[in-house]
Amino acid sequence: MKNLSFLGVDVAKDTLVIFDGQKVYEFQNERGLKKFKRKFFKKKEDRKKRVVIYEPTGPYSAFLEEFCATNMIKVVSLNPRKVPRLREVLGHRAKTDNLDAKLLYEYHKIVSEEEIKEIEYNENLEKLSLLLSEYQLYQNIENKLSNFLEYLDRVPVDSKESKKHIQKNLEETRQRLQKIKKEMEELVNKDDDINRGVREIEKVKGIGKMIATYCYIFFRKRRIRNRREVVALAGLDPEVKESGKRKLVTRISKKGDNRLRSLLFMGALSAIRCKEGGLKEYYESLIKRGKPKKVAIIACARKLLIFAFYNYKKWQMEAQSA
The pLDDT of residue 84 is above 90 = no
Give CA separation, 34 vs 30, 63, 281, in Å: 8, 11, 56
pLDDT tier, 57 (very low <50, low <70, confident <90, very high otherwise): confident
The pLDDT of residue 223 is above 80 = no
Average pLDDT (278-291) is 90
Q: What is the structure's pLDDT at 14?
A: 93
The pLDDT of residue 268 is above 80 = yes
Q: What is the structure's pLDDT at 63?
A: 92
Q: What is the structure's pLDDT at 246?
A: 60
pLDDT tier, 149 (very low <50, low <70, confident <90, very high otherwise): very high
pLDDT 10s digits, 109-143: 888 888 888 887 788 988 998 999 899 999 999 99
Q: What is the structure's pLDDT at 198?
A: 95
Average pLDDT (229-237) is 87
- Measure the CA–CA gap between 87 and 129, rounded to whole angstroms: 31
Average pLDDT (25-37) is 94
Phi, psi of 24 (to 5 degrees): -100, 135
Per-domain boundaries in the chain: 5-118, 123-220, 227-321
The pLDDT of residue 305 is above 90 = yes
The pLDDT of residue 265 is above 80 = yes
- Measure the CA–CA gap between 138 and 131, rounded to whole angstroms: 11
Count Cα atoms within 13 angstroms, Cβ side, for 115.
Answer: 17
**What residues does 253 pair with on adjacent strands?**
none
Long-range contacts, 267-270 (Cβ 8 Å, 24+) = 267/206, 267/207, 267/208, 267/211, 267/301, 267/304, 268/206, 268/297, 268/298, 268/300, 268/301, 268/303, 268/304, 269/297, 270/206, 270/208
Q: pTM of the full predicted structure?
A: 0.77
Answer with the residue of higher pLDDT: 105 or 253.
105
3-state secondary structure of 218: helix
The pLDDT of residue 175 is above 60 = yes
Average pLDDT (273-290) is 86
Average pLDDT (244-259) is 71
The answer to whether the beta carbons of residues 74 and 108 sit under 8 Å apart is no
**What residues does 243 pair with on adjacent strands?**
246
Give CA separation, 37 vs 32, 73, 280, in Å: 8, 11, 53
Query: Of 100, 83, 85, 125, whose CA–CA distance to 220 is shortest?
Result: 125
The pLDDT of residue 89 is above 80 = no
3-state secondary structure of 211: helix
Q: What is the structure's pLDDT at 113?
A: 86
Phi, psi of 157 (to 5 degrees): -135, 165
pLDDT tier, 87 (very low <50, low <70, confident <90, very high otherwise): low
Name the range with the highest mean pLDDT among 56-65, 174-183, 285-294: 174-183
Average pLDDT (216-231) is 86
pLDDT tier, 82 (very low <50, low <70, confident <90, very high otherwise): low
User: For the chain, how long is the longest CA-to-CA vector?
Assistant: 75
5-11/15-19 β-pairing: antiparallel
- Measure the CA–CA gap between 19 and 138, rounded to whole angstroms: 40
Number of residues written out for the chain: 322
The answer to whether the beta carbons of residues 15 and 1 sit under 8 Å apart is no
Answer with the residue of higher pLDDT: 105 or 85.
105
Phi, psi of 30 (to 5 degrees): -135, 160
Query: Got the DSSP string for 252-303?
Result: E---S-HHHHHHHHHHHHHHTT-SSSSHHHHHHHHHHTT--HHHHHHHHHHH
pLDDT tier, 242 (very low <50, low <70, confident <90, very high otherwise): low
The pLDDT of residue 195 is above 70 = yes
Q: What is the structure's pLDDT at 1?
A: 63
Average pLDDT (272-286) is 84
The pLDDT of residue 215 is above 70 = yes
Query: Average pLDDT, whole number, for the chain?
Result: 88
Residue 164: which residues within 8 A CB-CB, separation 6 or more? none
To the question of domain 5-118 being in CATH 3.30.420, the answer is: yes
- Measure the CA–CA gap between 188 and 125, rounded to whole angstroms: 9
